[in-house]
Amino acid sequence: MSSAPLNLYDFTRAGLTALVAEWGLSPVHAARLWNYLYYESTDTLAAMSDLPARLKTRLEAETTLGRLPIARETHSSDGFTRKYLLALADAHRIETVLMRYTGRVTACVSSQVGCAMGCVFCATGQMGYTRHLTTGEIVAQAVHVDRVLRATAGSAPALAEPGAVSPHHRHERLRNIVFMGMGEPLHNYDAVMKAIDILCDSAGMALGAKKISVSTVGVIPGIVRLADERRPVHLAVSLHGATQAERLALVPAARAWPLDQLMDACRYYTAKLERRIFFEWTLIEGKNDGQDQAHAVGSLLRGMPAQVNLIPLNPTAGYAGAPSHNAAAKQFQSILAGYGLPSTVRQRRGIDIGAGCGQLAVAD
């Protein structure tokens, strides 16, 4: 027996079935266990009442259910966002965010403790990199959010933050995930993709891959792999600057993956998968929100299947920039439209609790 217990959330369904078979037990029991993990989001082995005793004994001795205890939970004043500081087994901590938009709930999931990419306006980047998350630690965040939604299903008082509740918010399950939390998901490619495979398994949480967005600062090898492996998730590429020099000033990773090579990789992706890319653009007042920059983005992306998501800068302690005003965002959008590029201005969520884009960081 290995000394470190196996995290059940690290296993694909095939892997779990093989483990249970190694123990001399039927695939039927593996299927029941999988059902507990991902269909019922059961949170303890003890609550898995109809597994055979022999299986439970092995599970209790050799595995762990890698739930991530909540170290702190904060709710935004508008009631639409909840941020969870979750504790990892090695005492590191990460943040996961539950966001309510009109008609949907989205989990913003972390992929690393900290981040090595160092985007200047991002609180996670300002922390530096500590380590990759395991598949199980990524899966556990999604299961956590799903469990929160189930726990509050049908109980209006539990969801009764001001402005947050409407009857259609009841009986929810998690259906949307964005890998836009702490870390660069394509820097932790294997663990992230295995987690996505687990979460999309049709016999479990059965998330649609098209309801999952993976956001990258421009890790070219990861973009090429996504295309070559024909991964059906959405891809979001953080651009922030439309020339190499302007991008490099905000995104140090542009030194390793220059803009022209990044655009080649993006064209490879869109051609191979016949799918558009979402380009993220943090709007910083007086820095990258001018008409010249909007025209530069238009020229850069013209003809590519693309949508631009404009995100007014969210405040962080380590960066002095300010968010663009609505008028600048609207003007930026109308210039992009002239190049045939659809765009949105991101709804801001959870800014008052540091849960917005670029704000996630672990601080006591």
Catalytic residue numbers read 95, 357
The reply on whether position 127 binds ligand SF4 by CB under 6 A is: no
Nearest C-alpha neighbor of 307 from the set 341, 356, 330: 341
The reply on whether position 294 binds ligand SF4 by CB under 6 A is: no
Q: Can you spell out the DSSP letters for 292-317?
A: HHHHHHHHHHTTSSEEEEEEEPPPBT
**Does residue 319 sit in helix, strand or coil?**
strand
**Rounded (10°) angle between helices 259-273 and 220-228:** 10
Burial pattern 317-350, b for ≥16 Cβ within 10 A else e, equals eebebebbeeebbebbbebbeebebebebbebbb
Q: Which two tokens stand for residue 203?
A: 């016999």
Instruction: Return the residue of 125, 241, 298, 354 that touches ligand SF4, per CB under 6 A.
Output: 125
Q: Which CB atom, from 148 or from 239, has the smaller least distance to ligand SF4?
A: 239
Q: For the window 192-231, what string marks contact with ligand SF4 as x by the rule CB under 6 A? A: -------------------------x--------------
Q: What is the largest CA-CA distance in the chain?
A: 68
Q: Which CB atom, from 119 or from 178, has the smaller least distance to ligand SF4?
A: 119
Q: Which two tokens stand for residue 245?
A: 């020099």
Minimum CB separation from ligand SF4 for residue 254, in Å? 11
Residues that contact ligand SF4, how many (by CB under 6 A): 12
Q: Which stretch binds ligand SF4 (CB under 6 A): 44-52, 79-87, 159-167, 182-190?
A: 182-190
**Does residue 23 sit in helix, strand or coil?**
coil
Minimum CB separation from ligand SF4 for residue 348, in Å? 16
Cβ 241 vs Cβ 280: under 8 Å: no
Q: What does the alpha-carbon distance between residue 85 and residue 307 come to, in Å, rounded to a whole number? A: 31
The reply on whether position 235 binds ligand SF4 by CB under 6 A is: no
Instruction: Return the residue of 117, 223, 242, 294 that touches ligand SF4, per CB under 6 A.
Output: 117
**Rounded (10°) angle between helices 326-338 and 291-301:** 30
Q: Which CB atom, from 51 or from 117, has the smaller least distance to ligand SF4?
A: 117
Instruction: Return the residue of 6, 33, 98, 115 that touches ligand SF4, per CB under 6 A.
Output: 115
Q: Which stretch binds ligand SF4 (CB under 6 A): 75-83, 122-130, 195-203, 221-229?
A: 122-130
Q: Which stretch binds ligand SF4 (CB under 6 A): 52-60, 177-185, 267-275, 317-325?
A: 177-185
Which residues form the interface with ligand SF4 (CB under 6 A)?
A: 115, 117-119, 122, 124-125, 182-184, 217, 358
